[in-house]
C-alpha cells in the first residue's frame, strides 16, 4: 500500500452518512459504479466489474469464459497460490509451467505443457513485472486457447502501451492491502467481450437477475455466488484510482535510478524486463544460488525461493489434490491422470533460488533512491 488519505476518509464518511452500503440497494450510480467507469476509461477496456478479491476475480473470469470440468489451465509455477486454485473452483485443473528469468511464465514451456485438454492460460504479471504477452497471445491464437491475465500484482503497469489485464480475453486485478492501490481486500474483472462481462456479472452476484440491469442482459441467467463489494470499498477505490499513475510514475523514476547504479556492478544483473521503458520493479539475478544467498544474508534480504507460498512446492493442498468433498474433486473429472512432483518445474526452482526481489522505494527523492541503491552494491 502506498497512498491513502483525506480523500478516502471523506468518501467513506459520505457512504456511512448515506446509510446505503450496498451497491445494488440505492447504490446504483454510486461510488462502485463510478469507480468501474473510471477504471474502464483509464485502462481503455470496455468492461470492468468490481469484486471482493483478486481470487474472486480469477474465478469469475474463468467461469465467464466457460472453463470447467475436464479442462486444463496452464499457470506459472511461481505465483500466489490463488492463481492455481482458481481453476479448481470452476472444476478445471491447473498445469504448472516454468518461469524464465523475467520471473514470469516461460512461453516455451507453455507450448510444452499444452495437451488436447488445455483450454486456457493464466499468465501472471508477478511483482509488477509484465509477462511476454506478445508471445503468449500468439501461442493462444495458434492453439485456440483463452487467456486470463492475472494482473493482481501489477495494477496499472503497462506493456508496450497497454495496461496489463487488458491484453488477454479477460484480465484480473487485486486491491489487497499489499497492491499498488488498495481498499484492504478487493479486485476487478476486465474484458472487452460483452458475453464474458455478462457471465462474470451474473456469476459474481447470485441476485443478478433481480437487479435493475437484468433487462439489458442477453446471456441466459444461471445461478451465481456472492463476490460483491460494498459501497465502502467502491468509495475507497474511486479515490485510490486517482492516485495510481502518480504511484507508478514514482516507482518508475526510482527504478530507473536503481538500474543506473546497478549497471556498475558485476555481482548480479537486473531480471530481464519485457518493457524496460515502463519498468516499475527491480529484481536481481545471480549466476548461482550460493552467491544469491550470501548477498541476501549480507543485506538482510531473502531469495525468492524463500517466499514460501509463492513457489509451487509449497502448495500442499493442491499438490496432494485434496478437495472439500471427494465427489467435488476436479482431479476426478480430469480427462487424464494429473501428477505433481516436487521437481516437475526444476527450472523455476533454479531461478527463484538465484533471484532476489528488491522492490522499488516509493516517494523518495532521487538522491535517496540513489543512496539506497549504492548501499546494495557495497
Q: Which residues are catalytic?
A: 179
Could you give the CA distance from residue 175 to residue 160 in angstroms, rounded to a whole number?
23
- What 8-state DSSP symbol labels residue 226? B
Cβ distance 238 to 34 under 8 Å? yes
Distance CA 341, CA 181 (A): 36
DSSP letters, 27-95, are -TTSHHHHHHHHHHHHHT-SEEEEES-HHHHHHHHHHHTT--TT-EEEEESBS-THHHHHHHHTT-EEE
Question: Could you give the CA distance from residue 50 to residue 35 in angstroms, rounded to a whole number?
Answer: 8
Report the alpha-carbon distance of residue 292 to residue 268 in Å, rounded: 9
**C-alpha span between 74 and 97 (Å, rounded):** 7
360 neighbors 127 (Cβ within 8 angstroms):
no
Amino acid at each position: 500500500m502506498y497512498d491513502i488519505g483525506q480523500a478516502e476518509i471523506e468518501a467513506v464518511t459520505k457512504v456511512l452518512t448515506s446509510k446505503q452500503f450496498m451497491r445494488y440497494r440505492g447504490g446504483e450510480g454510486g461510488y462502485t459504479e463510478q469507480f468501474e467507469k473510471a477504471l474502464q476509461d483509464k485502462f481503455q477496456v470496455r468492461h470492468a466489474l468490481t469484486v471482493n478479491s483478486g481470487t474472486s476475480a480469477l474465478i469469475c473470469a474463468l467461469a465467464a469464459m466457460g472453463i470447467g470440468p475436464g479442462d486444463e489451465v496452464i499457470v506459472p509455477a511461481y505465483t500466489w497460490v490463488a492463481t492455481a486454485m482458481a481453476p479448481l473452483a470452476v472444476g478445471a485443473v491447473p498445469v504448472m509451467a516454468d518461469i524464465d528469468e523475467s520471473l514470469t511464465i516461460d512461453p516455451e514451456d507453455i507450448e510444452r505443457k499444452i495437451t488436447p485438454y488445455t483450454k486456457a492460460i493464466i499468465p501472471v504479471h508477478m511483482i509488477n513485472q509484465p509477462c511476454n504477452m506478445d508471445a503468449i497471445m500468439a501461442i493462444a491464437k495458434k492453439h485456440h486457447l483463452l487467456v486470463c491475465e492475472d494482473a493482481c500484482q501489477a495494477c496499472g503497469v503497462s506493456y508496450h502501451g497497454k495496461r496489463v489485464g487488458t491484453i488477454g480475453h479477460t484480465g484480473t486485478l487485486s486491491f489487497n492491502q499489499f497492491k499498488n492501490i488498495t481498499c484492504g481486500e478487493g479486485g476487478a474483472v476486465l474484458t472487452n467481450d460483452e458475453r464474458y462481462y455478462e457471465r462474470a456479472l451474473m456469476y459474481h452476484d447470485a441476485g443478478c437477475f433481480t437487479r435493475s440491469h437484468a433487462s439489458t442482459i442477453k446471456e441466459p441467467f444461471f445461478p451465481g455466488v456472492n463476490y460483491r463489494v460494498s459501497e465502502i470499498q467502491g468509495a475507497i477505490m474511486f479515490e485510490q484510482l486517482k492516485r495510481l499513475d502518480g504511484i507508478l510514475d514514482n516507482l518508475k523514476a526510482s527504478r530507473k535510478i536503481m538500474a543506473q547504479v546497478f549497471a556498475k556492478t558485476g555481482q548480479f544483473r537486473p531480471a530481464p524486463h519485457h518493457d524496460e521503458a515502463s519498468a516499475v520493479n527491480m529484481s536481481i539475478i545471480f549466476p548461482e544460488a550460493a552467491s544469491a544467498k550470501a548477498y541476501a544474508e549480507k543485506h538482510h534480504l531473502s531469495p525468492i525461493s524463500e517466499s514460501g507460498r509463492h513457489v509451487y512446492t509449497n502448495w500442499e493442498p493442491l499438490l496432494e489434490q485434496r478437495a472439500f468433498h471427494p465427489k467435488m474433486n476436479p482431479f476426478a473429472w480430469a480427462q487424464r491422470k494429473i501428477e505433481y512432483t516436487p521437481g516437475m518445474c526444476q527450472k523455476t526452482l533454479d531461478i527463484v533460488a538465484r533471484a532476489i526481489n528488491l522492490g522499488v522505494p516509493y516517494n523518495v527523492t532521487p538522491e535517496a533512491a540513489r543512496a539506497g541503491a549504492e548501499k546494495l552494491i557495497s
